[in-house]
A and B are shown apart, each in its own frame.
Chain A
Amino acid sequence: MNGAEMTRSGGAESGAGARGARETANMAGDAFWRPRLVPAASAGARPEPAASGARVEFRGVSVSYGGKQALAEVSLDVPPGSVFAFIGPSGCGKTTLLRCVNRLNDFVRGFAITGGVFRDGEDVYSLSRSEDVRRLRRGTGMIFQKPNPLPMSVMENMTMPYLEHVKSSAAEARERAVDCLRAAGLYDEVANRLNAPAAALSGGQQQRLCIARVLMLPSRLLLMDEPCSALDPISTFKIEELLSSLKGERTVVMVTHNMEQARRVSDHTAFFLNGRLVEAGDTYTLFSRPREEATERYVTGRM
């Protein structure tokens, strides 16, 4: 390993570096403080995103879990405002890379990373105070593979994370929630079920609820981990439509197994294989004139 590189560790691995230990200590230490409040977006406003999407850069990122290598030397630029798709077979490390951007891997035992993940030029793994990590996560919307509504009502799902961070009245939060549900094209379907448990919605509605929930907080970056893999074609179509309406104001990084989906919605695509980045480029070129043979085999369904 290059001497200049620093090994960074998160999680509870016993041999983890001081950083991992410090992170844990911080989280326990300020446990009783409320997170710092972000200034409320102009009251009663539509769910307005920040001016433009965030820039994400990966520089020589290598990740291992308990010594087992998951990603090797990945360097990649995600231009602001674009939709960037990560494709590749299962276990190729694309989800791992995605979860580095908001440091959600920190909770995984034995997780260690070298190299740099930059968000708008800021090295996210150089953040040492848990407060800063929380700010990073707050400004990054995350959509998981399985719809993850919390065990509460539709409305509570929308307002709870918002009220955690923004000093605002419950009424204002509810208003904003309605706007976000509209933006996600879900409002008409759930208008009379706002106080029903979110778990009672269909899978597609739950996933759109999760997207609407992410819109509650002003974020310039959306991470999506196979957002449609558990959904039927119509729900998938609705989410893809929603995605293209979000584009530009937000950068979207998305992991997908669905090649058609990558082709339909993304501007750029990166192909991963066995923890390595094989090829990245604009989606049209990558699908029509791949440079690498492995890419060609994968995108034509022969792998």
Chain B
Amino acid sequence: MRVAALAGIVAIFFIFAFVFMKAAPVISHSGLGLVSKSGFDAQVSEAFYAPADEPMYVFGMLGLLLGTTLTTLISLAVAGFFSIGAAISICELAPRAVASPLIAVVRLMASIPSVVFGLIGAMLVVPFVERVFVTVDMQIEYLAFFQISGRNLLTSVIVLTFMIAPTVITLSTDALRAVPDIYRETGHAFGMSRFRVVWRILLPAARPGITAGFLLGAGRGVGEAIAVSMVCGGVGKIPSLAHGFAALLTPVLPLSAAIINKSEAMSVPAVESALFACGALLLVLGTLFSLAARLIVRRTGGVGNAF
């Protein structure tokens, strides 16, 4: 047992070490510009065509970083909202005859391979977004900034939402089911309505489990490569609030999708190092996410303050 745990820790250490070693040339040449500057797409082709004796190691990944953060946070918010609602319906409102098939469907959804989500996204969601939200006038208006198509931030968020939701629903249902019945009875004995019992008693009691669901969902959002790379647009633009709604239609390129999209150019050492830098950023981002979540749980999860 202890040996296995130790082996796991050592393995994780080596993964970090290997990724950062491979990424070192790009990180050292780019410095802080790696996370504060953009232009990754142009830099990749520049590096690809650079002469072998003067390789190009300077990259800016702000666009990719924002792509990952935005797609993950927005889809987590949307999926979280609906997932908690779904979990409440399954556990507290639906009769057993409805609840069991529902939960079976949710678990099935969680096991669909992500490439299938990507395929459905590319075949159904992309044309849908294009038809509903994109107009020719809009395309002309924003031509100076980016080319609007059906592959963009919004599409990525829609696809990711469906991929995150099953995880969050499953863990939230488990958490709600684990709340002892005595808490429900206590609430009802005080004459609270079903909704108030859920809101004031069950959700707070289930919060640690629900938070775990959000964490796993965030993990999937950050790490999801294939499905997102099929619908995200493949250009690391930075959505700008100045564009209003069109900001949602900005083509993006999250870090993990970038690794897939640009992997054809990996024969060039500089590009390879750049992609490992993407991987390094992903590792850092994942660590930050889980630290932040732990902090949030510690701040709000306890029962320290009465009001």
Q: A interface vs B, CB < 8 Å?
A: 12, 27-28, 30-35, 102, 104, 107, 130, 134-140, 142, 144, 146, 148, 150-153, 155-156, 159-161, 164-165, 170, 174, 194-198, 217
Interface extent on B, as a size class?
A: 20 to 34
Q: Are A148 and B306 in contact (CB under 8 A)?
A: no
Restricting to B168-187, which residues have a CB under 8 Å from any CB of A? Answer: 182-186
Given A152-B204, A156-B303: A104 touches B189 (CB 8 Å cut-off): yes
Q: How far apart are the CA atoms of A165 and B191 in the complex, in Å?
A: 9
Q: Are B303 and A107 in contact (CB under 8 A)?
A: no
Q: Point out which of B185, B188, B189, B192 has the most chain A C-beta atoms below 10 A from its C-beta.
A: B189
Q: Are B189 and A27 in contact (CB under 8 A)?
A: no
B51 at the interface (CB under 8 A from A): no
Q: Are B201 and A137 in contact (CB under 8 A)?
A: no
B96 at the interface (CB under 8 A from A): yes
* Least CB distance, A269 to chain B, in whole angstroms: 24
| A107-B185, A164-B192 given; 9 more Cβ-contact pairs under 8 Å | A12-B96, A35-B191, A35-B196, A134-B192, A136-B191, A140-B189, A144-B182, A155-B306, A159-B306
Q: Are B186 and A32 in contact (CB under 8 A)?
A: no
Restricting to B246-275, which residues have a CB under 8 Å from any CB of A? Answer: none
B200 at the interface (CB under 8 A from A): yes
* Least CB distance, B192 to chain A, in whole angstroms: 6
Q: Contact partner of A27 among B96, B194, B303, CB < 8 A?
A: B194
Please give, as numbers and ranges, the residues of chain A lying within 8 Å of B302 by CB-CB distance. 197
B284 at the interface (CB under 8 A from A): no
Chain B residue at minimum C-beta to C-beta distance from A147:
B182
* Least CB distance, B81 to chain A, in whole angstroms: 16
Q: Contact partner of B195 among A32, A107, A161, CB < 8 A?
A: A32
Q: How far apart are the CA atoms of A294 and B92 in the complex, in Å?
A: 43
Q: How far apart are the CA atoms of A197 and B301 in the complex, in Å?
A: 12
Chain B residue at minimum C-beta to C-beta distance from A12:
B95
Q: Contact partner of A130 among B96, B184, B193, B305, CB < 8 A?
A: B193
B205 at the interface (CB under 8 A from A): yes
B105 at the interface (CB under 8 A from A): no
Please give, as numbers and ranges, the residues of chain B lying within 8 Å of A134 by CB-CB distance. 191-193
B304 at the interface (CB under 8 A from A): yes
Q: Point out which of A31, A35, A140, A155 has the most chain B C-beta atoms below 10 A from its C-beta.
A: A31
Q: Are B306 and A194 in contact (CB under 8 A)?
A: yes
Given A35-B191, A151-B205: A174 touches B306 (CB 8 Å cut-off): yes
Chain A residue at minimum C-beta to C-beta distance from B190:
A161
Q: How far apart are the CA atoms of A28 and B94 in the complex, in Å?
A: 10
Q: How far apart are the CA atoms of A151 and B182 in the complex, in Å?
A: 11
Q: Are A195 and B200 in contact (CB under 8 A)?
A: no
Q: Are B96 and A35 in contact (CB under 8 A)?
A: no
Chain B residue at minimum C-beta to C-beta distance from A200:
B303
Q: Are B193 and A27 in contact (CB under 8 A)?
A: yes
Q: Are A195 and B183 in contact (CB under 8 A)?
A: no
Q: Contact partner of A164 among B182, B184, B200, CB < 8 A?
A: B200
Q: How far apart are the CA atoms of A185 and B71 in the complex, in Å?
A: 55
Q: Contact partner of A34 among B93, B184, B196, CB < 8 A?
A: B196
The 4 closest A-B pairs by CB, nearest first: A138-B191, A31-B195, A155-B306, A137-B191
Q: Are B182 and A148 in contact (CB under 8 A)?
A: yes
Chain B residue at minimum C-beta to C-beta distance from A103:
B188
Q: Are B186 and A107 in contact (CB under 8 A)?
A: no
Q: Are B189 and A102 in contact (CB under 8 A)?
A: yes
Chain A residue at minimum C-beta to C-beta distance from B96:
A12
Q: Are A153 and B305 in contact (CB under 8 A)?
A: yes
Q: Are B195 and A135 in contact (CB under 8 A)?
A: no
Q: Are A148 and B191 in contact (CB under 8 A)?
A: no
Please give, as numbers and ranges, the residues of chain A lying within 8 Å of B303 by CB-CB distance. 151-153, 156, 196-198
* Least CB distance, B137 to chain A, in whole angstroms: 41
Q: Are A148 and B186 in contact (CB under 8 A)?
A: yes
Q: Are B186 and A156 in contact (CB under 8 A)?
A: no
Please give, as numbers and ranges, the residues of chain B lying within 8 Å of A34 by CB-CB distance. 193, 196
Q: Are A31 and B194 in contact (CB under 8 A)?
A: yes
Q: Are A138 and B194 in contact (CB under 8 A)?
A: no
Question: B68-108: contact bitstring with A at CB < 8 Å (1 yes, 0 no)?
Answer: 00000000000000000000000001011000000000000
